């Protein structure tokens, strides 16, 4: 039994309301957030400088990305790193190398639930980007579409993928009665998500779109509309909304490294928004994360451009009479873990030719063989992967 209230006449204060819920086994209180926008309005005095700094960092990131010779190569691995980090926040234990090895068919990783979870995230992010580029606005349809891909297979695929929950969920604890946070009862989810969609489309201040995205993320996590995968879906929406609002031309900013490093504060501040209406502390933290993440992406792009340039020059000096090793390097710039068969097919060259080129790159310590096998050998562009793997150590 749920003690209902008049949903459309909720008080306009910042604090939400608790709903008494009684089941056959226990009594607990679920939380229903206040409608948006926050009232009284967000105090921008201390937030405005952080907003301006974050916007400037995003502008620099967008500019630096235009210098990349092949933006698709960078995005291919960048989105996989975000997928890994976002999944690690939820407890997944896998590495970037394992993810890429699974994608090239290494059976020792293909059947791992942790790896499959990350690959589903990659598929979901790409689907979300495809939808917004085809003209789909922020909407319940967009949110459900990316969630459906998140649980297309593997762990969690039985938990209503792509559908709002029809039963109660909770955060931390063994049941709602001892949980740290109990989201709204399922009867409220559709109305709350419809409100969130309307708030987004009613927002008028284009100079404060980053604030809009931060508020959307916090409210989404508070509603927790799905049985599982709410954290990953909500973090993915930050990147997608940056592209949808043309703050970034490409999905270059992913916040999960910052949120992983500060996950206790992340959860604490979301809870303060719910219980105390403290939007200012949450938004200050979130904008700092945007700033740090944008600068980290700029640094990564700069390091990779320098690495590619230096290695290309080394290859040209060591192999002046053949361009095959340089062409092989170009493949590894897109797929830093690969094998001779894939490269031969991509370059339409014979396997012996590719193996000789790979051997030359091994001699220059550019590529490293990682299986120790005589057949079906896998090679990694070591320094490239080292740059990308910074911060991706599993949470223990």
**pLDDT tens digits, one per residue of 110-123:** 567 788 888 898 99
What DSSP letter does each residue of 112-171 carry, written as one string? -HHHHHHHHHHHHHHHHHHHHHTT--SSHHHHHHHHHHHTSSSTTTTS-TTS--SS---B
Q: Which of 10-24, 84-98, 181-195, 376-390 comes out lowest in average pLDDT?
A: 84-98
Q: Which of 126-130, 146-150, 333-337 comes out lowest in average pLDDT?
A: 333-337
Angle between helix 140-150 and 189-202 (nearest 10): 120
Q: Which two tokens stand for residue 382?
A: 């070591």
Distance CA(150)–CA(121), nearest Å, equals 5
Query: What is the mean pLDDT of the segment spanning 60-72?
Result: 83
Residue 38 resides in a domain: no
**Cis before 37? omega within 30:** yes
- Give residue 109's domain range: 43-170+183-299
Residue 130 resides in a domain: yes
Largest CA distance in the chain: 79
Site of tokens 């793997």: 389
Inform me whether the pLDDT recorded for 5 exceeds 70. no
Same-domain check for residues 295 and 327 = no
pLDDT (0 to 100) of residue 71: 81
The CATH number given to whatever domain includes residue 113 is 1.10.3290.10
78-92: buried (b, 16+ CB within 10 Å) or exposed (e) per residue? Answer: bbbbbbbbbbbbeeb
Residue 159 resides in a domain: yes
Residue 242 resides in a domain: yes
Same-domain check for residues 242 and 114 = yes
The CATH number given to whatever domain includes residue 360 is 1.10.10.10
With a pLDDT cut of 90, the percent of the chain lying above it is 61
Q: Sign of torsion, CA 77 80 84 85?
A: positive
Same-domain check for residues 228 and 295 = yes
Same-domain check for residues 292 and 326 = no
pLDDT (0 to 100) of residue 207: 78
Q: Which of 93-97, 170-174, 175-179, 387-391 comes out lowest in average pLDDT?
A: 93-97
Distance CA(171)–CA(181), nearest Å, equals 5
Q: What is the pLDDT of residues 329-375, one digit of tens each?
A: 999 988 888 899 989 999 999 999 999 999 999 999 999 998 888 88
Identify the bridge partners of residue 338 per DSSP, sorted by sequence position. 379
Distance CA(334)–CA(100), nearest Å, equals 11
Q: What is the pLDDT of residues 229-277, one digit of tens each?
A: 999 999 999 999 999 999 998 888 888 889 989 999 999 999 999 999 9
Tell me how many degrees the CA angle 270-273-278 measures, rounded to the nearest 5: 125
User: How many separate domains does the chain show?
Assistant: 2
Report which of 343, 345, 381, 341 is spatially closest to residue 361, judged by C-alpha positions.
381
Report which of 35, 29, 31, 36 is spatially closest to residue 10, judged by C-alpha positions.
35
Q: Which of 30-39, 85-94, 233-242, 289-298 comes out lowest in average pLDDT?
A: 85-94
Same-domain check for residues 290 and 344 = no
CB 390 within 8 A of CB 380: no
Identify the bridge partners of residue 18 per DSSP, sorted by sequence position. 31
Residue 14 resides in a domain: no
Tell me the pLDDT band of 178, cut-offs 50, 70 and 90.
Answer: very high
pLDDT (0 to 100) of residue 395: 66
Residue 2 resides in a domain: no
pLDDT (0 to 100) of residue 221: 97
Q: Which two tokens stand for residue 73?
A: 């190569």
Kindly report the average pLDDT of the chain as a whole number: 89
Q: What is the pLDDT of residues 191-215, one digit of tens each?
A: 999 999 999 999 988 779 999 999 9
Distance CA(314)–CA(382), nearest Å, equals 15
Report which of 228, 250, 213 is spatially closest to residue 161, judged by C-alpha positions.
228
Tell me the pLDDT band of 106, cut-offs 50, 70 and 90.
Answer: low
Q: Is the pTM of the predicted complex or chain greater than 0.95?
A: no
Distance CA(1)–CA(21), nearest Å, equals 6
Site of tokens 């960092």: 57
Same-domain check for residues 124 and 70 = yes
With a pLDDT cut of 70, the percent of the chain lying above it is 95
């Amino acid at each position: 039994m749920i003690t209902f209230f008049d949903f459309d006449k909720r008080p306009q204060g910042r604090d939400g309301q608790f709903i008494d819920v009684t089941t056959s086994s226990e009594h607990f209180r679920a939380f229903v957030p206040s409608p948006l926008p926050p009232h009284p309005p967000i105090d921008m005095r201390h937030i405005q400088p952080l907003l301006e700094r974050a916007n400037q960092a995003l502008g620099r990131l967008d500019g630096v990305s235009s210098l990349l010779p092949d933006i698709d190569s960078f995005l291919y691995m960048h989105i996989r790193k975000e997928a890994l980090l976002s999944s690690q926040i939820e407890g997944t234990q896998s590495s970037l190398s394992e993810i890429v090895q699974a994608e090239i068919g290494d059976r020792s990783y293909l059947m791992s639930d942790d790896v499959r979870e990350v690959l589903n995230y990659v598929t979901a992010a790409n689907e979300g980007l495809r939808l917004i580029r085809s003209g789909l606005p922020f909407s319940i349809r967009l949110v459900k579409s990316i969630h459906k891909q998140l649980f297309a297979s593997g762990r969690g695929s039985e938990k209503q993928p792509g559908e709002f929950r029809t039963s109660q969920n909770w955060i931390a604890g063994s049941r709602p009665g001892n949980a740290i946070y109990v989201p709204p009862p399922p009867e409220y989810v559709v109305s709350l998500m419809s409100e969130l969609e309307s708030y987004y489309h009613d927002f008028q201040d284009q100079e404060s779109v980053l604030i809009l995205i931060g508020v959307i993320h916090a409210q989404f996590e508070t509603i927790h509309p799905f049985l599982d995968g709410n954290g990953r879906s909500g973090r993915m929406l930050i990147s997608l909304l940056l592209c949808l609002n043309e703050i970034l031309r490409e999905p270059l900013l992913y916040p999960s490294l910052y949120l992983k490093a500060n996950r206790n504060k992340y959860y604490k501040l979301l809870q303060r928004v719910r219980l105390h209406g403290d939007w200012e502390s949450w938004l200050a933290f979130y904008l700092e994360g945007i700033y740090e993440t944008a600068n980290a992406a700029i640094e990564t792009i700069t390091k990779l451009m320098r690495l590619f340039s230096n290695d290309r020059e080394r290859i040209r000096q060591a192999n002046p009479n053949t361009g095959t090793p340089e062409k092989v390097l170009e493949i590894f710039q897109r797929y830093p873990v690969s094998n001779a068969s894939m490269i031969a097919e991509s370059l339409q060259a014979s396997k012996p030719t590719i193996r000789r080129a790979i051997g030359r790159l091994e001699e220059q310590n550019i590529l490293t063989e990682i299986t120790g096998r005589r057949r079906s050998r896998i090679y990694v562009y070591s320094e490239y992967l080292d740059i990308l793997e910074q911060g991706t150590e599993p949470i223990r």
